[in-house]
Amino acid sequence: MKPFLLFALFLLITSTLFAQDIIISGKIIDAAGHAVPFATVYVKNSSRGTSANSEGGYTLTLKTGQYDVQYRAMGYKQQNRKVELKNDQTINVVLNAEDYQLKEVAIRAGAEDPAYAIIRKAIKKRKTYLNEVNAYTCEVYIKGLQKLLGAPKKFLGFDVQKMARENGLDSNRRGIIYLSESQSKFSFERPDKVHEEMISSKFSGSNRAFSFNRVSDMRVNFYENLQVWEGLSNRPLISPIADNALAYYQYKYLGFTVENGETINKIQVIPRNPYAPCFSGYIYIMDDSWRMQSLGLYITKKSNINFVDTLKVNQQFFPVSDKAWMPASLKFEFTGGLFGFKFGGYFISIYKDYDIEPKLDKNQFKEVLRITRGVNKKDSAYWEQQRPIPLTAEEKTDYQKKAVLAAKRESKPYLDSLDKVNNQFSIGKFLLGGYRHRNRFDHEYYNFNSLLSSVTYNTVEGLALGYGGSFTKQIDSLNNRYFNVYGKVRYGFSNKLFNATGGITMPLGSATLSLAGGSDVIDLNNHEPISAFMNTAYTLLNRQNFEKFYQKQYASATISKRIYGGWQASAGAEWANRKYLSNTTDYSFFHPKRHQFTTNNPLSPNVDAPLFPENQSFKLSVRTTYDFSNRYETYPTGRRYIPSKYPTLGLTFVKAVKNVFGSDADYNLLSADLSKSEIPMGFYGKTSFYIGAGKFFNTKNIYYTDYRHFSGNQVLFYQGGLSKFLLLDYYQFSTGDKYLEGHLEHNFSGLLTNMIPLIRNLKLQEIININYLSTPTLKNYTELGVGFQTNIGLRVMYGTSFNNKFGGVNQAIRIGMSF
């Protein structure tokens, strides 16, 4: 190698090794001297940048050298500063309001606004830019802040003033209630593969907690037709450049400006219907390429969003290559209020170091998120160097104040004092809510049931007391695993039967072992389709005893384990003695006409003939499910597997073995089921379904308690769910032969109700469901249900049945909860 080449190589190596980190800092203000919050600061022709904080302050760390630094904010004219960095510098910048000029276009009266031509070109290019980058990696910093802006001193008897004081808020109950930062490495591959590794996490208020900030939650792509923001909106939100956007939006051309040699058009977007799931605001589209340069949009409670009154979205893009533009920053800003509580806040993400031609390992996408121990242990010196958005004085104070509070809260004296207060016994608490004794430091919990909820009434036992409690202890904090012991005693004051049950659940290697046994009075239908409370109410008030019982003495063991990914399995064995019970009382508060109690035999309601003789059974069962997904998230407490977008398949086999421990039952049951909840149907809501089928074979001896039972319903109030019938008898159509069961439910997510004035304020979701059952006795029984559901799961349904040849209920109103 020639000498001058060796010397050049030496200079290159030494300049790289000894290059220093230089910090540019300053404040960004407007012409009036007011701070420009969250302005972006980027180095031209690179993906290195930052954002100002809420007070306009910024810091940017670079190596020594020459740079062209760009300062941008929507609504302001971009400023460029050429800097030569040898030492730390302070650069304050004034951004002037952008002057958008109108093009010299002859606009005739009634002619179409020029914005529409631009929007049509942007829509035509939508798919191109949606699929422009097949894969990429980047680093992302996310900061979240939420503030309580106002609150009452007390709410429903709760001392808000005390809570505010204990959480570091001021005397007016105002201040920061959530402040969190995170840094992540993010990888993406089309169509929807993601992998995120959290590098560092900081959370104000706890030294042990992790940030809730996730890159996946902050991914917004307005090149997608629909923005699906779960929780915030029941309906997908329509992008201003969706394929059908012209049917939902009006557009107004506001002018153009030239920035970095590009002509940028400012277009106002206006929903045609203010109550549609559409955005208002501005999008900025570049001439010739017709791609979005930035956007500033917002949506309000008029569009029936949840939790907040107004949500603003600001996104800026920058070129990462000659052909590709990627998000530079994204900010959500929100305000809201409820019951006198007012809050506001924001989440902002800054993207840097893009690689749009990465070499990715396909297997890495099995792990969607990785958060390991230690990511929340970085000290303040680390964050001073790595934090791209400087803290405000208020945020610095909050971190310091909450660190002191966190140390205090995690100490044994504080936890003991907290437990001492919360563990105080009171008759009212014991009667209504039960009693819980906590030892937070040792992670031990004793739970005792509410006395009132333990008292029921039925015609078999009369007044019955079923009281229970449990003990739980965390035995593996690393994997968040617990040891649990529980027990219950039950006594019927009319039939004089005393029963007691208990069990243990504990880890066994990577599996979970459950042991249970005792004697109990339980529902003949193992789905327990009517609650004990509802049966008590109908029995005492309406003289209708729907629930039927038998006595079961048993011992069982079950072991369950995740085999691999989305494949889970369990195996169990149970010995049981089953005894038929008869009614022992006919007392009720009221005696409505034509209402008479029936026997405890659902198949012989008028004659008390035993449904089955006393018998024993020994059953072995195996169940396995697979949801066709091996994707998971890794947390310090272990893995959490993510449900697949495909249905979950389940297989169950039950064998009753004769002459083992005196067993009388002798049969086999093979069943299969396929189910999936909330399949997205775009703007038209979500669909859920359940299909189950099974057959008993080699049946030599079987009893009613071994039958396949179904979740029927015969009362006004019911517990909703996917595999529930609206009108089916609880017991009459259970089968010991074969069956086919199906349930289909569609939630329109307010598609229709949001068009109706006043009704839209209730945020109702339209529900349609179809339920089907076929057995050798009941062929092709079908139900159709229509109704509405609220955001909290309360639903009102009208159901009608078809092909009901047994004189059951053909139509009725049902009110229930769906979870």
pLDDT of residue 417: 73
Q: Which of 64-78, 125-139, 412-426 has the highest mean pLDDT?
A: 125-139
pLDDT interval class at 386 (50, 70, 90)? confident
Give dist(CA 38, CA 500) in Å, integer: 64
Of residues 562, 553, 443, the one with CA closest to residue 497: 553
Q: pLDDT tens-digit profile of 528-565? A: 999 999 999 999 999 999 999 999 999 999 999 999 88
Q: pLDDT tens-digit profile of 10-53? A: 433 433 344 567 888 899 999 999 999 999 998 887 878 888 99
pLDDT of residue 1: 42
pLDDT of residue 256: 92
506 strand-pairing partners: 513
In contact, 248 and 238? CB cutoff 8 Å: yes
Look up tokens 């384990």; give the residue.
561
Cis peptide before 191 (omega within 30 of 0): yes
- Tell me the mean pLDDT in the region 151-157: 82
Residue 100 structure tokens = 């958008």
- Tell me the mean pLDDT in the region 562-587: 96
Q: Where are the domains of the chain?
A: 19-95, 114-396, 428-709
**In the chain, helix, strand, coil percent, each to 5?**
15, 45, 40
In contact, 320 and 356? CB cutoff 8 Å: yes
Q: pLDDT tens-digit profile of 641-650? A: 998 989 999 9
pLDDT of residue 100: 85
Task: Report domain 19-95's class.
Answer: mainly beta
pLDDT of residue 154: 85
Give dist(CA 630, CA 628) in Å, integer: 7
Give dist(CA 495, CA 550) in Å, integer: 12
